[in-house]
């Protein structure tokens, strides 16, 4: 099966800073790929390049098995960073500008506007809309023409909890309709809830890539609380098998690779006479996997 998006050794430099460094990955039909990474990891640069807004220094990418041309973007609904509009034009006119290039009818504009619940704002100038409404309008523009692929860069930026839940519902709905979706976000909980696959970027490179379920099985999380926290920290710091994810006054949260590492930790605590008040083993959240990978 031809991947929807295939990225091969993509690199981008801004003067002396490497934003992307030989990045390669594929996105297959029907996947919801989450792109994670700290600030400056290259998420927006990556999306800008694959959408033709910026030029890569080297490497290639193709969509739908075809070399990139501007016409490819007509098959992709994309929201890049903050929503951009002609603020002096009405919601309808802004939608028309998107629709004209995609040969869409006025009915399709109304449908997209209805999906994001902005029908009553149709004739209002965009500058009168709240940030949340603008974000919804930007999402409506991505839906015009029913493109098979959606790309969202921080889609829940500036949204209140109700708005976030709305976007989450919409993404799930679009996924159920068979669309392939790519989301770059800081909101790890959001990614875990809606994505099937994830790629974690650091300094423009992929440090983890795969199905969300499989990534969550790669590590285990151990939360330990004791009166001798400093002693506990010393044990963990001296062993490369353990990595501190979180530290607080009563204890620490660490990630470990397997059961052997947990056994080893237990033995070392006994040797040092450190009695845990709490010793809890659980599956990690995506946030903990992210922190584990990024802290490497």
Site residues, other proteins (CB under 8 A): 48, 51-55, 70-74, 76, 78, 80, 84-90, 93, 96-98, 100-102, 141
- Residue 263: its H or E element: helix 259-271
Q: How far is CA 249 from CA 225, 226, 233, in A?
A: 9, 9, 11
Nearer Cβ to other proteins, position 56 or 221?
Answer: 56
Nearer Cβ to other proteins, position 14 or 248?
Answer: 14
CB of 84 to other proteins, least distance (A): 4
Nearer Cβ to other proteins, position 72 or 244?
Answer: 72
Task: Give the bridge partners for 23, in sequence order.
Answer: 10
CB of 40 to other proteins, least distance (A): 16
CB of 142 to other proteins, least distance (A): 9
Task: Give the bridge partners for 222, in sequence order.
Answer: 254, 281
Nearer Cβ to other proteins, position 45 or 226?
Answer: 45
Nearer Cβ to other proteins, position 73 or 187?
Answer: 73
Nearer Cβ to other proteins, position 158 or 210?
Answer: 158
Range list of H helices, 68-177: 91-101, 106-115, 131-143, 161-176
Burial (CB count within 10 angstroms: exposed 0-12, middle 13-18, buried 19+), residue 150 = buried
CB of 101 to other proteins, least distance (A): 5
Both tokens of residue 175? 């996924």
CB of 109 to other proteins, least distance (A): 12
**CA-CA distance, 138 to 151, in Å (whole number)?**
12
The closest of 257, 160, 194 to 35, measured between CA atoms, is 194
CB of 82 to other proteins, least distance (A): 8
């Amino acid at each position: 099966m031809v991947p929807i998006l295939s990225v091969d050794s993509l690199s981008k430099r801004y003067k002396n800073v490497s934003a992307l460094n030989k990045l390669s990955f594929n996105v297959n039909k029907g996947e919801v790929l989450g792109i994670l990474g700290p600030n400056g990891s290259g998420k927006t640069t990556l999306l800008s390049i694959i959408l033709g807004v910026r030029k890569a220094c080297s490497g290639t990418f193709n969509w739908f098995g075809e070399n990139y041309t501007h016409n490819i973007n007509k098959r992709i609904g994309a929201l890049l960073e903050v929503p951009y509009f002609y603020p002096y034009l009405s919601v309808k006119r802004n939608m028309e500008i998107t629709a004209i290039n995609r040969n869409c009818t006025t009915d399709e504009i109304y449908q997209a506007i209805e999906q994001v619940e902005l029908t009553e704002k149709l004739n209002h100038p965009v500058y009168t809309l709240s940030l949340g409404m603008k974000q919804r309008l930007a999402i409506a523009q991505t839906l015009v023409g029913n493109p098979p692929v959606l790309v969202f860069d921080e889609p829940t930026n500036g949204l209140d909890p109700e708005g976030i839940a709305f976007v989450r519902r919409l993404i799930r709905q679009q996924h159920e309709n068979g669309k392939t979706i790519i989301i770059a976000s800081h909101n790890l909980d959001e990614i875990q809830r809606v994505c099937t696959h994830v790629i974690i970027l650091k300094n423009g490179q992929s440090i983890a890539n795969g199905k969300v379920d499989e990534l969550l099985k790669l590590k285990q999380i151990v939360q330990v609380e004791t009166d001798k926290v400093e002693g506990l920290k010393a044990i963990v710091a001296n062993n490369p098998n353990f990595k501190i994810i979180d530290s607080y006054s009563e204890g620490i949260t660490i990630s470990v690779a397997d059961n052997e590492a947990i056994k080893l930790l237990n033995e070392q605590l006994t040797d040092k006479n450190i009695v845990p008040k709490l010793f809890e083993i659980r599956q990690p959240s995506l946030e903990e996997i992210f922190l584990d990978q990024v802290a490497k």
